[in-house]
Amino acid sequence: MSDPTFAEFVSHAPGYWPAESMDRWDDYPWQLKNRINTLGELESHLRLTDIERAGVLLAGSKLAMSITPHFFNLIDPEDPDCPIRRQVIPRLEEGWAAPEEMADPCGEDSHMPVPGLVHRYPDRVLFLVTDRCASYCRYCTRSRVVSGVGEQHLETQWEAAFRYLENTPQVRDVLLSGGDPLLFSDSRLEKILTRLRSIPHIEFVRIGSRIPIFLPQRITPALCEMLRKFHPLFISIHTNHPKELTTEVRDALGRLADAGIPLGNQSVLLRGVNDSVEVQRALLHKLLRCRVKPYYLYQCDLIHGSSHLRTHVSEGLEIMDRLRGHTTGYAVPQFVVDGPGGGGKIPLNPEYVLEHRDRKTLLRNYEGRTFEYPEPSMIPPEVAQSLLEKTTCCP
Ligand SMILES: *Cc1c(COP(=O)(O)O)cnc(C)c1O
Ligand code: SF4
């Protein structure tokens, strides 16, 4: 690996920003206020390619651009193919919707019993609590509503959603997402969690958030103290590249873990970002060092204008094949594709079963060696009989 930041935790403050920013760097409202939202702000820090400049101009009416100073600093200004850059700086290709692409690739809008609440699986719901994030990912599966500049808007019906949950006892698991729920104030989050916890059949609450990566300064001790009152509470973070795991991010994740919150990671497999086994391995190992269990690796959804970021399914399978068995089992995520149009998550695995035979299954291991696993044998009746006789004749 040529880039040492793959393996090591390094800080990136203040980078492109004037040294006096250092005083405010750890202040998350400062980070939010100083986000890069316009072409002018972006060009004052970075020389763009023509492809990117066109992308920024096109993005305004689809998915807004916004990048926190913290995350922006991870961009390598010398590298037009920087994997951080590809995730947050729009590109010209976003302006073209390929024929297979959709506004709502996971079919969420048709599974909402109440606006903002997606109930697809029998026992759990996805609760979309906001359309805002600290920064915007160009491949966002919810870009039809996220950032608020597109034609469609998220209109979460809070009271109706809580009533639906109260009246639907089969829901035992609520996943708060959006947008990014950790953008809410501590007191607003506390009200939402208190209301959810007052519903007896809700056993399990989790939050999906990219804030620990985009804005680690938001993970304050006060936030962690508040969250720990609502256990069992899990958090799924979203990170795609080992460079994203800086010292600030590692420390923020440590504060969440110290508050007793089990942490998982969801990544999206993205062309030119993390579509190699070397990058994946570095990311997964670094996540374990941050006390985060890699949870899902997603095939990129068929979102409008995403073809330049999508990979072939076979590439993901190849990466999985080169991870499982070759490294710590805890480090290996489940590769999934959301069935286009509303099929939900479908697990994808390399083929380990070569053949089902009459009395045995033919398998291969991670090295490609084959093994036979036989079906269980039945005890022969005459053996059973003689054992029975032996044990019943005794006094
Ligand atoms: C991903 C998702 C969930 C959670 O799925 P898990 O496999 O339990 O993590 C729930 N509802 C919807 C609509 C989802 O897309
Ligand atoms: S943080 Fe999540 S919801 Fe927000 S833009 Fe990125 S992928 Fe979309």
Same domain, 279 and 381: no
Same domain, 14 and 70: yes
Same domain, 304 and 261: yes
Same domain, 337 and 379: no
Helices 186-197 and 158-166, axial angle in degrees (round to 10): 30
Q: Mind listing the pLDDT tens digit for each residue in 55-111?
A: 999 998 899 999 999 999 999 988 989 999 999 999 999 999 999 999 999 999 999
pLDDT of residue 191: 98
What Cα–Cα distance (Å) separates residue 56 from each residue in 63, 78, 94? Answer: 10, 19, 10
Which tokens hold the place of 381? 């009746």
Which tokens hold the place of 94? 């976003």
Last residue of a domain, one of 350, 365, 383: 350
Q: Mind listing the pLDDT tens digit for each residue in 338-350?
A: 999 999 999 999 9
Residue 236 alpha carbon, nearest atom of ligand 1: 9
Domain count, the chain: 2
Last residue of a domain, one of 335, 350, 365: 350
pLDDT at 6 over 80: no
pLDDT at 1 over 50: no
Same domain, 248 and 270: yes
Residue 118 alpha carbon, nearest atom of ligand 1: 13
Q: Which CATH number do you get for residue 180?
A: 3.20.20.70
Same domain, 195 and 221: yes
Residue 126 alpha carbon, nearest atom of ligand 1: 11
Spatial distance between the Cα atoms of 25 and 68, rounded to a whole number of angstroms: 11
What pTM did the predictor assign? 0.95
- The single-letter DSSP state of residue 146 is T
> 112 CA to middle of ligand 1, Å?
13
Q: Residues with beta carbon inside 6 Å of ligand 1?
A: 118, 120-121, 124, 126, 175, 345
Same domain, 71 and 9: yes
Q: Which domain holds residue 379?
A: 353-393
Same domain, 340 and 358: no
| Beta carbons within 10 angstroms of residue 240's beta carbon | 27
> 221 CA to middle of ligand 2, Å?
24
Please give the share of the chain, as a percent, with pLDDT higher than 70.
97
Same domain, 346 and 357: no
Which tokens hold the place of 134? 């600290």
Give the number of the ligand closest to the Cα of residue 71. 2
Same domain, 342 and 363: no
Same domain, 140 and 106: yes
Same domain, 285 and 359: no
